[in-house]
Structure 1
Amino acid sequence: MSNPSGNNTRLIACITIIILTSMLMLDRLVPEGLFLDGVTYAAISRNLAIGKGSFWALYYRNPWIFSEHPPLFFGLQAIFFKIFGDHYLTEKIYSFVIWLLTAILLKQFWNRAIPGNGVSYSYALPLLLWCLVPTITWGYTNNILDCTMALFDIAAVWTLYRSQKDNNMWGIITCGILIFCATLTKGPVGAFPLAVPGLYWLVYQRGSGKQFFTAVMLTIFLTAMLIAFYVIFYQFPGPRASFDRYLNQQLIAALSGQREITTGGLGRWQLLYDLAIQMLVPIAITIILIVIVRLLKLTPQKTSGKHALFFLLIGLAASTPIMMSVKQRTFYLVPSLPYYVLAVAAIAYPYFLVITNRFKAGQKGLRIFRLSAIIVSLGLCIYLGSKVGQVGRDHEMIANMHYLAEKFPKGEVLGICAEAEKDYAFLAYLERYNQMEVNRIFYAQKYVLIDKELCNNDIIPIINSIGFREEPIDLSRYKLYHRHFPLKFDFTLLNPVFRTRDK
């Protein structure tokens, strides 16, 4: 069934998909602006790069040591800030590199798991389905931790899959290191590759007692490796303090429901609903391929049900543990989505193959297409270059940050009211831009920034009474007050009391 003309057709499809998916990613990645979590993580990584805090004691803003997540993501992104400097594109470049490496591993995993028998460029199918999942495009353009964890996890699964087939002990050890890196990025949810040996036996080797014993021993070995890494690091004061903070402030609180609840009306089942929504496009494309094959009366190869089942079980192993927590968000699915996509692609593959073999492209057509692709790519590069510096989201917030960065020196601390301390987006952007911070003990600062939408008006007479005077500022939402008296004593001893509203 396979022939050079079919390979040419798949090459054309592959190049088209690469151009379209890259454009889809970069069009959202290049403009300025990020989701709140992404801005926060970029600020922490930048702080680490300039010497604020340390790998085991991440600095966000005074006096907070960031303990919401393990530190590996921030250490890796800090390297990019060291290389590219403190520019808004730095975290964007990091995100694109993570996306690109994940796509390469997805391609490698597909090529290894689905033997081509002379069929080239079939990886275009899973890459297309993966990039068309809405959360993939959103997640890899918003600097979330889950994307980095997904990279370590798919590297671990691919390495373990190869090592099991080739009996490569060094590959298994590498897999253990990668699982440790995944958990050091976002905690225990990154340890799901530990289930792969058992799932591999269940799908491909069921009935073999010897292989079952091998799978159990392999899982025990990898688990022991993971525990050993943490035990060794726990002997040192820095890692021990970091692990304790993460365990007490984040992990236990999240599992016990003490953190924010984001599951919606479906409770812990919300994630399964979100998964179904995310997979609608890949499933729809598969159905379209099947319908086309039926209409053309083509004869596809038999679908490999075992491969689809194996990928599906890995996806379930990656996503179902998240349901233990009532803190769920759709982008938590990012590490599991490659496997769900591979499962769907394994079902769609025979139909994709027979269609690309049916519509043949010769060498002349391929040359014309390559020339067209080069021209289109150059045009897209010019288009993307024009978007550098443009604002993609949070327009007013980013404009305010640029204004404040021009008005105040780097590292300036602004006094704010207590209510404004709950404006997390404002605080994150303020820290990310120009390394500016805030202090709710406003009377001890040189400048006080009052948010007219959040702060109680009763604070203004107090500010005026202790020697602050309003200064003109070109920000409609804020008022700026400048202290006009010398700071001769510790104003933190003061405790002005004023009425506050329930905001």
Structure 2
Amino acid sequence: MKSPALPFYLLGAGIFLLFAGAPLFSNGMFLDGIWYAVVSHNMAEGLGTFWKPYMTASMYAEFYEHPPLALGLQSLAFKVFGDSRFIERWYSLLTCILTAGLIRMIWREISDYAHKSLAWLPILCWVLMPLVTWSAANNILENTLMIFTAAGGWFFLRGLKGHRWVHLAGAALCFVLGFLSKGPFVGFLLAVPGCMWLLGGKISFQRAFVDTLALMGMIGAMFGLLFLIQPQSWTFLNEYFHVQVVNSLQNVQTVDNRFNILYKILHECYPIIGLGVAIWLLGRKSADDYPEGSLKWAWVMLGIGLAGTLPIIISMKQRGFYLVPTFPFFAISASLIMVPYAAAIVKWLSLRKLGLRIFQAISVAMILTGIGISIHAAGDYGRDKDRLRNIDTILEVLPYETIVRVPKWLYQTNDIHGYFHRYDRVSLSPEEGFYPEYAIVGKGNRPEFLRFYDRVELETTHYDLWKRQREPMKE
């Protein structure tokens, strides 16, 4: 009898839409995500180039904070589909769909024939990790990186079945593309051969050693070719290394304890643990033995995930979403442990058509509810809703592509730069002695530089817009 996998795929999609739908399609976004959308949108419109990205006229006129590939890929979406506020959101959703497909491909490479149809299980585990839906809604670079790390893992596994060097070259290319998307966070792909030897016994030490050396050689050759063909790439990556990597290691601190990242990954795995307990309780009585090699592959996948987690301990600059590219491997590892119990549940359902239909109906209802929530939220205000209402009100008055004067404290409110420039290409400047046509200040405030301005009457709660009414006197 054919395995009833469809309702489980629908369940995963329904859970994703229920949690991600509203924040994904409503206005408002995490600081980093709105900045990336600004840079990508600018690149699509000819402001800045691939190797010299541009954010605003007054902040990061040369954007060396991250490598440019993910931004360049998103800029293609803007070029093709226009500048709607939904473009970066659809791009982010697409990265998740592609990642889900790659998880399925990896599963089918390592599972035995009888359990290939359980590919929905690692996808479900992955969707249940809270930062997956959060990252989908917030346009972070890790979404794109996750595609390349998952694809790199698949190339390694595919190489076990033949065409070893071709697939190793594919993994090397994924490493390079991942590095050009998010920098050193792709480095854990180098650990895959070692994990397959040490934790799973899937390859010999000799092969793991040779594959790792060959992989590094291919990566070096690909970067060398890139520097030869695109000399400006060397300049960019050199700037990126000093501006972002070295500075982050030496000067940036976001946590008090460098082991905080281990708590983060544990926190992300809580829902998977809960799912595992539920599956074990439901399927333990009729479960078969573990398929041959299943637990060894679970260790390999866990090792790959930890290889992408533990190095972050080196830095005191840590964010939970840095772990997102490792999530497919943690999800696959957990799923391999659940295999016999999940298979027993599927078998039980397949013998009860009415129960299967009810389960499928529930899954479809979740998807429809998620779609309904997404449609209702589309274009409405979500994150930062009060400030965004103020910004939209002000943008109705401001000319397109202009620079406005702001006080220093407002200039240091980083996300406001992203919103103003993404929506109407407005840059904010705190420069002393600079008196453009418009100025924006906090509600009810009147700093000294406004002596040449009159307030524009608008219904706002956070900011006031002022328009210059007379020429500044020479000082």
Deviation string, structure 1 residues 404-449 (Cα, Å, up to 9, x no partner): 2211121121111122211112122111111110121263311111
Identity of aligned residues (%): 28
Choose the corresponding residue for 2:79, options 64, 79, 82.
82
TM-score in terms of structure 1 length:
0.87
Deviation string, structure 1 residues 54-105 (Cα, Å, up to 9, x no partner): 1111101125211111001110000111122111110100000000000000
Q: Which residue of the partner structure matches residue 229 of structure 1?
A: 222
Note if 1:190 corresponds to 2:186. Answer: yes
Asked if structure 1 preserves the Cα contact closer than 8 Å seen for 2:24 and 2:89, the reply is: yes
| Alignment root-mean-square deviation, CA | 2.4
Deviation string, structure 1 residues 384-406 (Cα, Å, up to 9, x no partner): 32332111211112112211221
Change (3 A) 1:126 1:84: same
Change (3 A) 1:371 1:198: closer
Change (3 A) 1:205 1:370: closer
TM-aligned CA deviation for residue 273 of structure 1: 0.8
Asked if structure 2 preserves the Cα contact closer than 8 Å seen for 1:21 and 1:128, the reply is: no
Note if 1:180 corresponds to 2:176. Answer: yes
Asked if structure 2 preserves the Cα contact closer than 8 Å seen for 1:49 and 1:79, the reply is: yes
Q: Which residue of the partner structure matches residue 56 of structure 1?
A: 51
- Shifted more, 225-234 versus 319-328: the winner is 225-234
Q: Which residue of the partner structure matches residue 163 of structure 2?
A: 167
Q: Which residue of the partner structure matches residue 461 of structure 2?
A: 476
Note if 1:42 corresponds to 2:29. Answer: no
- 1:141 alignment partner, SS class: helix
Asked if structure 2 preserves the Cα contact closer than 8 Å seen for 1:302 and 1:350, the reply is: yes
- Code of the residue aligned with 2:199 in structure 1: it is V
Choose the corresponding residue for 1:463, options 450, 454, 473.
450
Larger RCO (CA under 8 A, 6+ residues apart): 2
Choose the corresponding residue for 1:404, options 379, 394, 398.
394
Q: Using the alignment, how far apart are the partners of 1:310 and 1:376 within structure 2?
A: 34
Note if 1:425 corresponds to 2:415. Answer: yes
Q: Which residue of the partner structure matches residue 246 of structure 1?
A: 240
Q: Using the alignment, how far apart are the partners of 1:289 and 1:362 within structure 2?
A: 18
Count, aligned residues = 469
Deviation string, structure 1 residues 458-483 (Cα, Å, up to 9, x no partner): x33x431xx33333232232233222
Q: Using the alignment, how far apart are the partners of 1:315 and 1:79 within structure 2?
A: 31
Change (3 A) 1:469 1:191: same
Change (3 A) 1:398 1:463: closer
Q: Which residue of the partner structure matches residue 13 of structure 1?
A: 8
Q: Which residue of the partner structure matches residue 101 of structure 1?
A: 98
Q: Which residue of the partner structure matches residue 310 of structure 2?
A: 320
Higher-Rg member (1/2): 1
Q: Using the alignment, how far apart are the partners of 1:252 and 1:244 within structure 2?
A: 11
Deviation string, structure 1 residues 236-270 (Cα, Å, up to 9, x no partner): 442122112111111011122x12x1123xx1100
Asked if structure 2 preserves the Cα contact closer than 8 Å seen for 1:44 and 1:74, the reply is: yes
Q: Using the alignment, how far apart are the partners of 1:344 and 1:368 within structure 2?
A: 27
Q: Using the alignment, how far apart are the partners of 1:84 and 1:151 within structure 2?
A: 22
Structure 2 counterparts to residues 201-212 of structure 1, below 5 A: 201-205=197-201, 211-212=204-205
- Code of the residue aligned with 1:254 in structure 2: it is S
- 2:137 alignment partner, SS class: coil
Q: Using the alignment, how far apart are the partners of 1:376 and 1:279 within structure 2?
A: 23
Note if 1:271 corresponds to 2:261. Answer: yes
Structure 2 counterparts to residues 298-317 of structure 1, below 5 A: 298-302=286-290, 304-317=294-307
Deviation string, structure 1 residues 28-71 (Cα, Å, up to 9, x no partner): 31222111111111111101111100111110112521111100
Q: Which residue of the partner structure matches residue 73 of structure 1?
A: 70
Q: Which residue of the partner structure matches residue 139 of structure 2?
A: 143
Asked if structure 1 preserves the Cα contact closer than 8 Å seen for 2:17 and 2:370, the reply is: no
- 2:118 alignment partner, SS class: coil
- Shifted more, 234-243 versus 317-326: the winner is 234-243
Q: Which residue of the partner structure matches residue 390 of structure 1?
A: 380
Q: Using the alignment, how far apart are the partners of 1:253 and 1:432 within structure 2?
A: 27
- Code of the residue aligned with 1:287 in structure 2: it is V
TM-aligned CA deviation for residue 369 of structure 1: 6.9
Asked if structure 2 preserves the Cα contact closer than 8 Å seen for 1:91 and 1:143, the reply is: yes
- Code of the residue aligned with 2:110 in structure 1: it is A
Gaps of 5+ in 2: none
TM-score in terms of structure 2 length:
0.92
Change (3 A) 1:422 1:368: closer
